[in-house]
Structure 1
Amino acid sequence: MRAWARGLGFSQIGVASVDLSSAEPGLLQWLAHGYHGEMHYMEQHGLKRARPSELVPGTVSVITARMPYLPRGTAPDWQERERARLDNPSEGVVSLYARGRDYHKVVRGRLQKLCKQIEELVGPFGYRVFSDSAPVLEGELASRSGLGWRGKHSLVLSREAGSMFFLGEIFVDFALDPSDAVSAHCGNCSACIDVCPTGAILAPGIVDARRCISYLTIEKHGSIPEELRPLMGNHIYGCDDCQTICPWNKFAQPTELPDFDEREPLVGRRLVELFAWDEPTFLKRTEGGPIRRIGHERWLRNIAVALGNALRQADATQAEELSAALLSRADDESAVVREHVAWALAQGEAESEI
């Protein structure tokens, strides 16, 4: 099974039991604090998220899998390169995982193929595959099955692969021996907590999604809280700061799959270029990728915030170009876009008054 999984692009598989009862109090407390923000799907299924056998009746074991997503040919100094992007305010930064094909389809599709191979060996069996696509405690299952430990940023970390991988699960109706969990190796390091621009990591393993840039640029509808906008820098879709700073990611491995190769229009592009995309262009350039799910309105909203942040640091020539780009959408049909454009333009005015 491990050989089949490697042939399909997975770097490791494990097995977890369906008893996640010890994780239920933490989940309930996290939800009670409202840390899930507008992600109402996190609470809609109640404790089924922590009860695989209730989510999919008949489930006896869970096969877990991880799939690396660093693009093929990624340079060893990729962490430094990615952090350097944050020092170029005029560039729009898209999270690494979102620069290629939509991982939901890739991971689930390859898990389905793995199931077919298993079926040839053991005969027909009941199963269902997931990858960030249902109320599943993916990190909990991954850590319990030995794919890694939960880092202080709450992501799963591996000594061999860092955290730059997707997770997937196969709920099966036959028993498998659970694989051994691994011990945590974060020690006294608090790099991920210290680097978070918005202070979203409240304590080791506890993230307030409402402050997380990934949440704000992807999950959040409508207006982004004004007090958080200046902290978002030039992030326009997702945020990798807690991962690019993590020492364990020097061991992150590139994928062997072309699916996660970077799409050039999304990497190293200037904000003014991206802000000029009309909706047909946005849909064409993001076809088959995860960015399309936020829609053109939120795409423009996010870039408007980044333009405002760039405007605060711009010289006279740069400010003229940035302001012109923003003014081109000052009368946008979307009230959300208009609001964020007005805020962004005000950043230039505030800077000129200082």
Structure 2
Amino acid sequence: MVLLEQILAESWNVLCLSAPYMLFGFFIAGLLKAFIPDDFVARHLGKESKASLLKASLFGVPIPLCSCGVLPAAAGIRKQGASKGATTAFLISTPETGVDSIAVTWALLDPLMALLRPVSAFLTAMVTGQLVRTLDPDIKQEVKKNAPVEMFAMAPVAAPTAAPSGGCGCGCAAPAPGKKATIMERLRMGMRFSFGDLFTDISGWFFVGVVIAGFITVFVSPDLVDAYLGNPLVAMFVMLIVGTPLYVCATASTPIAAALVLKGLNPGAALVFLLAGPATNAAALSVITGILGKKSMVLYLIGIMVSSFLLGFAVDAVYSMTGLSAGWQTGAEEAGRTLIGTLSALVLFGLVLFGRGGHGSCSDPACECG
């Protein structure tokens, strides 16, 4: 019972530290959903060029999708004519980071890692996308301009039930002809998505990550980490082996990495886990093979592994040159018990218990779903 109380206490500290940043991340995700058109990404990725790789890598950085949630969105932009290289870049930068995981990284690790993480995701996406573009040239395909894609699609959905005549497919009343959504309607739709669909998709894995962080804090000692993961190269290799087949989203991987850093893991190894874990897992790789082909899937893995290692060494060098210590905020246990942190954690629990998921809701801001 004493050990259980310790695990719960440490998990609660991690949750309170990260909860305000989680809520902020979901709010920003709602704004992105509300004001960026669903087909915005697809319209910019059709050309086989370095510009499309750059756009795909940049577009993916703020979008908060996990390694499985990004698959239908990637399949959609691929069908619309996005090149293999651009699709690969989008598949990597999107799950490796997002506004929510960047905010949580700031809370549980430090501002430097919160900056280096999205930059590393962008570089990994660019390098791997270029690798696919060079070694597995794309077959030119026609862009289907009239087939909009959900940029924030969580998973493939079943065919909708019949809608009322003139409706939007969600069973809601149709908007008046020519009616445009107001700013408040767009905000309501974006927040309904962010704290509904998106929260449902991410929250379970995040709470699992928080509990795992509690276990690590209680059972893993600095001496144990030093004995088995003291060598930075060995530590990065272990993190790569553990992270590649594991299903863990960018947000859920953060408390796990933060707990290990607190015990002495070098920041470069933590970054390897933060990059490889969300971008790869056994289930997603089979779907990626169907989207890009076997050769591109192999190049996808190689690009992520090599880039993660190189960026891990680079991050260690940055921390060494600056004299900073990763995870300095993680040890501030009292910070986890602030009123704002406690209230934010309770809000997260409230969303789990009483929140209404947005699955099946209309994604059209002009649709009067109420």
TM-score (norm 2): 0.25
Task: Identify the structure with bigger relative contact order (alpha carbons < 8 Å, sequence gap 6+).
Answer: 2
Higher helix share: 2
Higher strand share: 1
